[in-house]
Amino acid sequence: MSIARMVKNLDYTLLFTAAGIILFGLVVIGSATLEFTNESFTQLKNLNFITKLAHLDFEFVLKQIQWVLIGLFLMAVMIYLPYEDLVKHSRLLYIFNLLILAAVLIKGQTAYGAQRWIQLGPAQFQPSEFSKLLMILTFAGFLVKKRGNLNRFRDLIPCFLYVGAPMLLILAQPDLGTSMVFVAVMFAMLFFADAKPLLLLKIIGAGTVLVACLISAHAYLHDTDRALEKQLAALEQEKKQVMAANAANSPAVEEVEKKYNNLLKQSEKAHKRHEKFHKYTLKEYQMTRLFIFLNPQSDLLGDGYQLWQSLISIGSGGLAGKGLLGGTQTHFTFLPVRHTDFIFSVVGEEFGFLGALVLLGLFLLIIYRGIRIALEARDFLGSLLAVGVVSMFAFHVFVNIGMTSGIMPVTGIPLPLFSYGGSNMIMNLMALGILLNVYVRRRKILF
């Protein structure tokens, strides 16, 4: 296929929508990273919109533009290479995927309590981002042969193992958010590969029940442990009083000592059980962070701080927002990591409900175009690829905005094409490249 024809056949709606999101993102990044340090800054919000743009903080914006350019180049490459050829090497890509993920675990950089980056020349690079794309490519190749043979649970086991291997490596970082992306994308692709929907639903249901069981089991263990500890402390006070008031061998002292020792044993037992649970599942602090979104105000100055500030940012934006450079939460730095994972809070604060709606609309448009592409793909492989990319995209958007607005657990998931971050931006542009790849090679009948 000639390049000219490819250019002519590109999906420009998709491209322009993506460009719109990226531009919007650049403006918000420039705003988010600007910290007000003296009074002169507070005058900025009185300027007109265009002049305001000139006052943004360009440090991260320029870096992001650099990532966008690299991403666009790689997108072009992704469009150019026929997707069949890409998938042909899926075994190699799969091994490459495992290798880079293993590399993270061996010599990765640590940030926010997890190993996610590896140094690559001057830049840091986040393999788990690219791993998502590689998983879509390789899993599509894996699934395309199994189409129609996915009616029983045991038919699905190889699929689970295939996706499970890289996923476990990511879970070990630990990066729960990305692992969940894997699960979501896998189910979407299985659904399109004609796995029995009822079976998938059962598995999802079983998973949900399992998670619910884990949570309630933890809640039970945790609460009994704490309750016993409290009782023990109270009894210790009582013991001290009784011992102070009575002689050493009096029946009262013996009785209270017996009671105390019994309770001590119980408490120790409960504590051990509780610890054992955490040993094999998530740690206590991970559990706390994961579920703090249910009640961020329970720990405003600790685990709930980030989310609470995010809610204040979004909520205080109101209908029309405080205007670019008008966000007090943003510019007085109350909101941490506001140019990456929590960038949507800045949108909510400065552009309000209307700005958020526009952004959501743009994302929905991309998803809509992606789904059209899945439908118009030349073959089943193309459809599968498109579905993989679209489901990944949709999941990211939903989880990210959900977490900033307090209806999803806070996991480190960026907003695609919008958050600051090289790996994420490049990977998403490459994913769009795959979509466009499928699109330019779409079914002939439509011409």
Partner 1 sequence: MEHKRLEKKVRFLFALVAGAFLVLVVRLSFLQLVEAARYQTQARANHQRLIPVTPPRGDIIDRNGERIVGNRPVYTVSVTYLGLQDTDRIVNTLANLLAGEKAYEGMSVAQIKASLQEKMQAEKLRLYEPVHVAAGVSLETVARIEEHRLDLPGVIIDVQPVRDYPYGDLLAPVLGYVGEIEKEQLEKNKDKGYQMGDNFGKTGLESQYEEVLRGKRGARLVEVDAHGRPVRDLGVKAPTPGNNLLLTVDARLQRAAQDALAKGIAGARTVGGAKVPKDKTLSAAAVVLDVRNGEVLAMASLPSYDPGVFARGVTSKEYQELTKAGALRNHCIETTYIPGSTFKMVTATALLEGGIVKPETTIFDPGYYKTQKDWKPGGHGRVDIRRALKVSCDTFFYMFGAQAGPELMGKYAREYGLGEKTGIDLPGEEAGLVPSREHKKEIWRNHPWESQWHEYDSTNMAIGQGENKYTALQLANYMATIANGGKLYKPHLVKKVVSPDGKTLTEFSPQLIRQVNVSRETLKIIQEGVHQVTLPPDGTASGVFAGAAYQAAAKTGTAEVGDAAGNKHALFLAYAPYENPEVAVSVVIEYGGMGSGVAGPVAREILDAYFLLKNDPEAKSLEEAKRKAARQRGEQPPPGAATGPQQAPQRPGEPSPPAGQAPLRQGPEQPGPPAQQSERRPSAPPEQAPAGGSPASPPAQQEPPGQADQRQPDQNRPEQLPLQPPPAEQPPVIPPAPTR
Stretch that binds partner 1, among 53-61, 104-112, 202-210, 398-406 (CB under 8 A): 398-406
Rule CB under 8 A: choose which of 214, 365, 398, 409 binds partner 1: 398
Radius of gyration for the alpha carbons in the chain, expressed in angstroms and rounded: 26
Task: Name the nearest CA neighbour of 145 among 397, 414, 446, 381.
Answer: 381
- Residue 102, number of CB atoms within 10 A of its CB: 15
CB of 159 to partner 1, least distance (A): 17
Task: Name the nearest CA neighbour of 428 among 367, 376, 345.
Answer: 367
Stretch that binds partner 1, among 135-143, 252-260, 280-288, 351-359 (CB under 8 A): 351-359
Burial class (CB in 10 A: 0-12, 13-18, 19+), 278: middle
| Binding letters toward partner 1, positions 164-193, x by CB under 8 A | ------------------------x--xx-
Between CA 295 and CA 252 the distance in angstroms is 44
- Residue 92, number of CB atoms within 10 A of its CB: 10
Query: What 8-state DSSP symbol labels residue 116?
Result: E
Rule CB under 8 A: choose which of 406, 412, 421, 422 binds partner 1: 406
The answer to the question of residue 446 lying near partner 1 (CB under 8 A) is: no
Stretch that binds partner 1, among 157-165, 247-255, 278-286, 345-353 (CB under 8 A): 345-353
Interacting positions 305-324 with partner 1 (CB under 8 A): 309, 311-319
- CB-nearer residue toward partner 1: 50 or 301: 301
The answer to the question of residue 326 lying near partner 1 (CB under 8 A) is: no
Q: What angle do CA 238, 244, 246 make, to 5 degrees?
A: 100
Peptide bond into 174 cis (omega under 30): yes
Cβ-contact 440, 79 below 8 angstroms: yes
The answer to the question of residue 387 lying near partner 1 (CB under 8 A) is: yes
- CB-nearer residue toward partner 1: 343 or 356: 356
The answer to the question of residue 332 lying near partner 1 (CB under 8 A) is: yes
CB of 11 to partner 1, least distance (A): 16
Task: Name the nearest CA neighbour of 363 among 416, 323, 439.
Answer: 416
List, in order, residues 6 or more apart from 187 with CB less than 8 Å away: 200, 204
Would you state the structure tokens that stand for residue 353, as one six-digit string?
């409900």
The answer to the question of residue 41 lying near partner 1 (CB under 8 A) is: yes
| Binding letters toward partner 1, positions 187-226, x by CB under 8 A | -x--xx-x--------------------------------
Stretch that binds partner 1, among 16-24, 236-244, 383-391, 434-442 (CB under 8 A): 383-391
Total count of residues recorded for the chain? 447
Query: What 8-state DSSP symbol labels residue 196?
Result: -
Burial class (CB in 10 A: 0-12, 13-18, 19+), 126: buried
Stretch that binds partner 1, among 44-52, 151-159, 259-267, 346-354 (CB under 8 A): 346-354
CB of 35 to partner 1, least distance (A): 7
Task: Give the interface with partner 1 as residue ranges (CB under 8 A).
Answer: 35-39, 41-42, 188, 191-192, 194, 300-301, 309, 311-319, 328-329, 331-335, 348, 352-353, 356-357, 360, 363-364, 367-368, 371, 374-375, 383, 387, 390-391, 394, 397-398, 401-402, 405-407
